[in-house]
Each structure stands twice: as structure tokens, then as C-alpha cells.
Chains A and B, each alone.
Chain A
Amino acid sequence: MNVTVQPLELRVNGKAVTVHAGPATRLADVLRGELGLTGTKIGCDAGDCGACTVLVDGRQQCACLMPVGQAAGRAITTVEALAAEDGTLSALQDAFLRHGAAQCGICTPGMLMAARDLLDRDAGPDEAQVLDALGGVLCRCTGYRKIVEAVLDVAGTAPALARIANGRAVGARLARTDGVAKVDGTEAFGADAAPPDALTLRVVRSPHARACFSLGDFGPIEARYPGLAAILTWRDVPGSNAYGIYPVGKDQPVLAMDRVRYRGEAVVALVGDAQTVGSIADDMLPIDWFPEEPVTGMAAAAREGAPQVLDDKPGNILTQGFVKKGDIEAGFAEAAFVAEGSWTTRFVEHAYIEPEAGWARRVGDRLEIGVSTQTPYMDRDEVAHVMGLDKEQVRIMPTACGGGFGGKLDMSVQPLLAVAAWKLGVPVRYVYTRPESMAASTKRHPAEMTAKAGCSADGRLTAFQFHGDFDTGAYASWGPTVADRVPVHATGPFHVPNVLNTSRALHTNAPPSGAFRGFGVPQAAIAHEALYDDLAEQCGIDPLEFRLINALRAGQPTATGQVLEASAGLAACLEALKPRWQALRAEAEAFNSLANGPFRRGVGVGCMWYGCGNTSMSNPSTMRIGVDRAGRLTLYNGAVDMGQGPNTIMVQIAADALGVPAEGFRVIMGDTDLTPDAGKSSASRQTFVSGKAVQLAGEDLRGQILRRANVGPDAVIAFGDGVVRLTDGGSEHILDLRDLDPDDRGNVLSGEGTFDPPTAPLDENGQGIPYATYGFAAQIAAVSVDTELGVVKATRIVAAHDVGKAVNPTLVEGQIHGGIAQGLGLALMEEYVPGRTENLHDYLIPTFGDIPPIETIIVEDAEPLGPYGAKGIGEPALIPTAPAIFGAIRHATGVVMRDAPAIPSRVRAALRAAGWGG
């Protein structure tokens, strides 16, 4: 540094402040670091996501793109200034709460500031103005529609539901219990919660997809940088330098030893003050690289004599899946019509707006890790494994999770932070940069699928055969789950007597493919739905009718021979869609019959089913509700809320099970020292599995109270002032809590519930009971296709979902909207290319302008095992969208898209091949 940094005078949220950062420092870093205003979020540091949007002299700007030197003398307004001094929310914030416009909350401050800018200029904007004004902020959870609704309804008076009558919480549109923190900027995410004295960790990652390397002498660089506390290598990992989801798949090193298998793999970690670790460039470290030709793509992986990615995986095969029912040849022999084809999908990136982040500190012989995660207990076990510690020596304290979608089911910062904090004995923080997040984290598996289906002359399916190869990348991660799930689901939610479904997961030198909303089922749905459109056409049956004829109904066996006894709501979803289907198809056909320009319209339908919970594996959840001496209720919720809503719906279920109002609960989420293990937030299992567990916990606590007070089962109970008041018929009873001894959590009474959905293993033919229940859905997409340019624009989605019971309809709609947005991205724009799309402007996720109006229809075919009949919605929301869009493209143009995403150049090539002009 060759100048002394002069203090700068800023005006932030109406107050004069002095800051000492260098004048070229990003304003976002100064707001968050020096001023502690962590409500301003950093999603990319490149102006691509808008999460850091603040007002500068009343106009929205990205705080990541402004040198603090330019901010001097200007009025900066952040999300912290929106609410009144006493915490009363502004009308805009309240509208966001009412409409469920905040899910994970990481984009919310940026959304609010962009909306504030607009509303300050125009108090009554129309939808187009809202889209334009907020179009610079990306959201990955909501599908944007509820944000648009909220801004348009800022003056609305419908109250946010915070108070619900006893016993009426399940089914109510309760505002999120964690919602206020998400709209007032106080929610602490992975990058917001580190101890102030924490050192910073930065990882040097492989620039090569496949290479050997050797590490040189770090002495000179350590001598040159006194701010460097440690340079960590694989030698510093005290336990096993190999982790992974499955006991047989512990193949990923915390830090690579002498070989890297994908671009972005962690090699060396630098720990020190932020300035120091930031100023040591990767190429300043003595690492000698010996690159090799990488195995790229599945054809290369499967080729005879291909180099092995992992030594113990001959043929680069991680695992294979198999489901066989009936006699496939006989099934095709009796078919009057047969359809077949091949489909390809690409890597898809989760693109949560919050990059991976967390912190760790050593407390005696224990480690405490605060981290944005979907799975605290698995993190605890994995950290213990790599550290050589007992599980009880590791405490995971989940921060708010700024979007997960499966990507935060794998470890990221956790093991590196653990190694650093343990070795150094001081707190350490680590936040991925956006390019690092995109290069290092897991992806959705690319698929290469071939499939064939046959039906009788009257449209009844007789046979279905499927094979899918899935690119599982360099390490196992969740690859086995994809290979297992796909053959079970690949027929779609239909009754097919004869089935042969197979799958393989193949290793390549690409980022590990892991868990991503749907575990391979969204890819397979593209294939099965296209085949059913083919068969419907061959039979001369309307595509929706064809699906109704074949819809799996209660009492019919699935591909694994499981007979669903209840809650198989596909037919009900299709019936609910039928009027909209007929109207939208007719509109599109009328438009096309008159069209003489390049535009054609089409309407397609996609169906899906999805097993809730782990495939044929135990996946229990335990939940606890405690009452302290003062009569205060605490829900010990181990089900991490990554925006989808467990912090809210678990309270709703607990309230009804216990028979009290929903607003009385304090929620502790996912702390492995405090909450029981609820399993991971994945596989659409938390509503169904943990929801049932919390219902049982509530009933347990209620039972204890009724027994102690010796009152009947219909007694009304109320907590307060150290007592429980019970009214049973006309008589009043008091249970004095102050007389009872508290446990180590301070509770005098606690109820606990455990639920493990009943499943049975799959036999050698894949026959058995993989899941206790399934979600069902059908969606309609309407599109407009520009046949000259190949541009496809979705114009409307109508979604009907059987959720068993909507515990909170607003949250269910939010899941559906968000799933549709991700499904639309999969269909039309998202394609991750290692080394090429490691930012949010080359990797495209849908923006405000890409999501059309969405109509949701909630179907409630109750699941007897679920809490109040409920089952999962997280993944089902995404799966039907891409097939519906591809069906709509076909309806508009006759062209079947076989290569996702359908970006304009691919659509145009397919149109040209089908004879459309040019």
C-alpha cells in the first residue's frame, strides 16, 4: 500500500458514519463488515444477482459494484432502514410476509430495496413496471410470482395470519414463523454469523479436470506473509481424508493428496487475515501440475479401455439400478402401438443465491460449526469421520440456509473449517465465492436416456422399457440415489403391467453430480412424457385423456409391485386440469389456424409421481416439544428450513396436536446439541416424516398433561404464567409447572415423537416397497414458439398437485411456483459447462420476466400415514414442468425436443430439421 487510507464519511440509513476501509473496497463489504449491516447480502460480487441491492441517493444499485470511495457524501439506504425504529414493519415488508414472497430470504433484501426504489417513484405501478424494476434481482426459491403479487398489493389490507384459533392451524395460511427476520434484514445466514475475531480461510482449487500434482516448499510464502496463520494440506486432516454420503462411497478427499479428478477440487487451504489470504494468488503457491487428458462425457467414460476416474471403479461404473416386472417382451408383443426415442439432458447448477458459507471454532475438545446446510446430523457424522473425533465432539449449528435444493446436502466448507479451527484453536470463517461455488459444488446429473413404451389400441399401456446413463462426475456423492430412484419412477405415475427399467451412474472428470431436487426423476420424466404424447397421437386419443386412462390409482401395483392403498391423486389432478386444458388447447389451435407470422402456440401436459423419503431405507425423524417452568413452549425442530417452510408447518402441526394456538412456540432449528435427529431436508420427506413425528410429539405432550391433570381427552389446554390451565367440560383445572423439575434444557415437560416411514427392501428384480407414500401431480404449460428464431416463451402454467393435505397452502403454492421456475430453467436455459459457466451471467437461471402467470390447484387425497394426511411437495413441484413445456413445443410445432435445455439454437435446429423454413 502506498497511500494512507483516509477515513471516509458516509451517510447510511440517515446516520453519519466514518469508515476506514480502502476507498476501492466494495461498498457491500464495508456495509457488512465494518458497519455490521449484514442485511445486505452478497450472492456473486459481480452485479449478476442483485442480492446486494441498496439505494444510493434513492436509486437502486449493486453495493458489490460501488467503491466505498464513491459512496462518500451520498445517502445509502439498506434493508435495515425499512422498518420503523420500534421494529414495526413497513407496508412493503408486511406485503412480502402476507404473500409468502420470502422463502429462504437471501434475495429478499435486494428485492425489497428494488421495490422501494420503484414505489418511491410510483406508488401504483403495474405488473410490467414491477417486472422491469425488480428484474435485476434473481430469486431461486419463489418463482417470482408471489413477489410480484406482494409489490402490487403493497397497499393491501389483508392481514398477515399470525393468530389462528386452537386446532385450526393445519390448513391455515399462517405467515412464516421465521418471516420477520427475513424481511427486516436480521436473519443470519452462513456468511453473517461468524465470530468477529474469526480468521478467513481460502481454498486453492484445481485448474485442471484431471491431473497429478506435487506440493513444493511453503516456507518462503509463509515467511513473506506474516498474516498467514497456516497453509493446510491433506497432511493436516487428522482423521480420514475421504468423505461421502454412503458408507461405500467415502471417496472424496477434504484436500487432494497428489491427484485431482475435477476442475475445482480443493488442493490447499490458506488461513489468515482476510487481506492476506485474499492477496495470495493461486499461482504464487508452489504447486507443480501434471495435467492429463480428462474423461469428459459418458461416451468417453464407457469406452473400452477408458482411463479410470477412481481406482476402485472399473469401467467407471459407480452403480447400476434395475426394476423388472412382468414379461417385457410379451408386453410389447401385445401392444397395438409402440413409441420409442432417446433424450439428453445436461449438468444443471443449483444456483442458490447464498454461496456455501460457515464458520468453526474449537471449544476444548469439541468443535462447533455454524453452517448453511440441509443436513446437520450427517454433517456432524462426516466431520467426526474426517477429524477422527467422536460424533459427540462435533456440534453443528445450522444458520439460516439461503437456498439448498439438494446442493447443501453434501459437505462444502464444513471439513475444511473443522481442520483449520481444530489445528489453530481460533475461530475460522469460510465463504465461497460465486465462481468457487459453481466450480466446486455438486450438479444435477446429465442423462442419456433411451425409452420405449407400448399400448393397446384403446390406449392402455402394456409395456415400458427404459435405460438411463447418468454422469455422476468425479465422486460418488448422491449418485447411487439417482441410479436407484430412476428405475423405480421411470414409467411415470401410470399403471404398466410389464416393465424393464435400468440405469447406470458413470464417473467422469466433472464436478460430482449429487442431489438436486428430484434425484434423476425430472430427467426421466422428460422421456416418459414424450413417449406418452407419441402413443396418444398414434391412438388418436387426447394426450390428457391418455394419461387419465393410465393414471395409477389406489389398488394398482407400481413398477416395483407395490400396491398403493390410498393417496394416489394423479387422476384427480388430471380431472381438475381438464377444463383449463381444453380451453388453452383450443385457444392455441385457434391462434395457429390463423397464424401467418413466425409465432405458433402450444399447450402440453406433464405428469409425475415421487416417493417421499429414502428409497427402501430407514429414514426416521424425531421431534420434541418442551415446556419450561414459565409455561413457554419450545419446538426442537431438527428439520432444517432452507426456505421451504418446516419452521412454520412444524409449528402448525405441533399446535394442533397439542391443542394450542400456533403463535406461542419458540423454534430451535437443527442444532445437533439441542434438537433430536430429524434426518435431512431432502427427498420431499420433512412434511411427511418429521411432520408425523411432530404430530406424535404434540400428542405425547398433550397426553402427559392430561394425565397429570387427570382430565379427559377433550380438555382445552392453555399455557401461561407457570401453569397449564385445563378446561374439561365445565370444570377448570390448573397444572402448576413451577412444582416440576426442569431437565437440562430447562423444560419441565417434554413430548417426543418418532416416525420412520414403513418401506421394504427391493429384491433382485427391484420389486418391493421403496416408499411409504408418493406425491402426484400434473401440470399444463402453454408456450409461444418463435419458429424463425427458436425462442420458446412460456405464457402460462397450470399446476395440480396432490399433497395429501396442504398444511399451509401459501407455502405449498410457494413450493409449486419455485419448482416450476426450476423446471422451466431445466427445460429452456440451464446448462452448466465446467470452466465456462461459473458465474450467474453465463449460467442462466430464470428471471422475473421468464416465469408466466401460474395457476395452482391443490388436490388433497389424504395419506393415512402422514400428519393430518399430508405428504411432500418439494421435488414434485419441479418434475412435471419440463415435460409439459416440451409437450407444448410439440403441440405448437410438431417437433419433439430430445436435447435439454431447449435453448433457441437447439429449437431452431430441430425446427429446421422438421422443415420449418430457412
Chain B
Amino acid sequence: MNAHAGHDPGGTGTTADAGAAGNNIEYRIAHLQERLAAGELGELGMRVEPRGSAVTVIGTVPTAHCREELLRTVNDELAGLAVHYDIVVAEAAAPDHPEEVA
């Protein structure tokens, strides 16, 4: 609970908690991850973590279109927060050497 958030006339903490929860960065990240999984991307593999006052989003997506959709969704869901991205589009090249498995 954030004791400085919201107005709490009854002294129960309920109103303050509701206000705090709405802006809680961890819950916002959790809601973002739920949206990424349920939406067009079906994305469960992103690392989304709070770092200081910002959020980092790290991972690999299948296509450039998915990267654009990911950025749009994150910017919408985490509006107002600084977000640092490290998003890689999956490599589609054939390997240049095999591995000898002993």
C-alpha cells in the first residue's frame, strides 16, 4: 500500500489502495503481458521489467510486423512511462555450420 496515494476518508485504506493499484508499475506491466498474450501477437516470451523509473522490454519477435505491433501495444499500455526496448526480429538465415554431437 502507498500511504501517500489518494484520498482515504474512511481510513480503511481501500480508496488509497485502488488509486495506488491503478498507477502501480508492476500491475501495469502484468496487464501489458496479459494483453500481449491475448492479442494479435500471442506473445508470451517478452521480458518486461521495471528498472528504476523506467521499463525495459527485451525479446525476440518473429517478424518486423510483430515488432511494430509490439511497440504500439507497449506504448499504449505503458503511456506516460519511459520504456527502453531491445527487440530483435528472428534470424531467418540458414546456418553456416553443423554441430558434431559426440
Do A and B share a complex? no
Which chain B residues have a beta carbon within 8 Å of chain A's beta carbons?
Answer: none
Seen from chain A, the residues whose Cβ lies within 8 Å of a Cβ on chain B are none
